[in-house]
Amino acid sequence: MAQAAQGDVGERRRRVITVSAILLVVIATAAMSGAATHRGPVRAVDITRDAGLLLLTLVLALRATTSFSFLKRNSALDDELARAHRASAARAGFWALLVGTGVAFIAGLYIDLPLPQIAPLLLAVGASGAGFRFAALESRAG
Amino acid sequence: MPGETSAERGFGVRLKEVRVNAGLTQQELADRIGVSRKTINTVENGVFIPSTLLALRLAETLGVKVEDLFHLED
């Protein structure tokens, strides 16, 4: 029973990270679109969306690349395979962010690309890149 | 190197054979060592190269030498 529960927790972690990464991309796209079209004072809906984006980015980055948890840690789910997957996920997130920032920099030379418009996408690229990589490695592990 | 998560050429694994001979499932072996079943699965498939510590624990738990579980292939 406990063995099945451990497997369930591992699978749930993988699914939560995958869904969070997809959700982050969707919210970041909405934030980018909102920043591009909205003119005038900041609205409550924009603040809420951007706060959600930042919170989800932080949670996803922590879940995919560290063993941080408010609850008691399950040592079997924090073994050396999980640590190797997290290290690989952190590298993937780093490179996604680096390449994304480079592309944004080059694009910014040719088109108007204000920071409030591109920052949500860069956040999403970095955190989602790490999340997708971790989920893919966990899935491959069987 | 330990912690690698992709198949390494020249690294041979006999863990599955020894585990099955010992009458253990992947989950049972994982529980005895304190790792996840996925770790045992990836080590058996040569996807994950374990650390020296984990290799020693596997060997000790299965009552064999490390060389009986892992070897270098030509």
Alpha-carbon distance B69 to A9, whole Å?
29
**pLDDT of A100-129, one tens digit each?**
999 999 999 999 888 888 999 999 999 999
Collapsing DSSP to helix, strand or coil, A29 comes out as: helix
Dihedral of the CA atoms A140, A137, A118, A115 (nearest 10)? 170
Q: Cα distance from B42 to chain A (closest Cα, Å)?
A: 6
**pLDDT of A27-71, one tens digit each?**
998 888 877 777 778 788 888 888 999 999 999 999 899 887 777
Residue pair B13/B46 in contact by the 8 Å Cβ criterion: yes
> What is this model's ipTM?
0.81
**Tokens 């999403």 identify what position?**
A124
Asked if the Cβ–Cβ distance from A80 to B39 is below 8 Å, we say yes
Residues in chain B with CB shorter than 8 Å from the CB of A67 are: none
Alpha-carbon distance B6 to A87, whole Å?
13
Residue spans of beta strands (DSSP E) within B1-74:
11-13, 70-72
**pLDDT of A60-99, one tens digit each?**
999 899 887 777 777 777 889 999 999 999 999 999 999 9
Best of A75, A80, A137, A138 to disrupt the B interface (most B CBs within 10 Å) is: A80
pTM for this entry: 0.84
Alpha-carbon distance A13 to A136, whole Å?
12
**B12: β partners:** B71
Element (H, E) at A73: none
Q: What is the C-alpha end-to-end distance of chain B, expressed in Å?
A: 17
- Which of B3, B38, B50 is closest, CB to CB, to A10? B38
- Which of A3, A81, A85 is closest, CB to CB, to B31? A3
Q: Which chain B residues touch A if contact means CB-CB below 8 Å?
A: 2-5, 27, 30-31, 34-39, 41-42, 45, 47-48, 50-51, 54
